[in-house]
Amino acid sequence: MAGYTDKNITINTKVNGWYIAGNIIFGGLIGWIVVDPLTGAMWTLDTNKLNVTMEAAKHANLDIPDAHGIMLLGQVPLSLRSHMVRVQ
């Protein structure tokens, strides 16, 4: 999310019960070996317990509209220098 530090989290997964029972009853070998593994339908994601606390970035994120930051002229890409305005 813009303005916040990146976070990496682990989401617990388990095999979906319908993958096992449904393919035995309805899908057969094709659903078991090909369709469900390729589409990811064989997995259940435990997202009900997902809670992430985001932390604001400690430096200005220039991707945010109306954000201001300080950088050296050498850090400004040449393609953007023509858009620069002198501030007094």
Query: Cα 28 to chain center, whole Å?
Result: 34
Determine what percent of the chain is predicted with pLDDT higher than 70: 81
Is 1 among the domain residues? no
Write out the two tokens for 62: 């220039």
What is the mean predicted confidence (pLDDT) over 59-73? 62
Is 77 among the domain residues? yes
Q: Give the count of domains, the chain.
A: 1
Is 88 among the domain residues? no
Determine what percent of the chain is predicted with pLDDT higher than 90: 0
Is 45 among the domain residues? yes
pTM, full prediction:
0.35
Give the residue, 70 or 55, on which the prediction is more confident: 55
What is the mean predicted confidence (pLDDT) over 4-17? 80
Q: For the chain, where are the E strands, in sequence order?
A: 13-15, 43-45
Query: Which structural domain range is residue 47 located in?
Result: 13-81
Is 70 among the domain residues? yes
Is 86 among the domain residues? no
What is the three-class DSSP state of 34? helix
52-63 pLDDT, tens digit per residue, is 888 888 765 455
Is 58 among the domain residues? yes
Tokens 């994120």 sit at which residue?
61
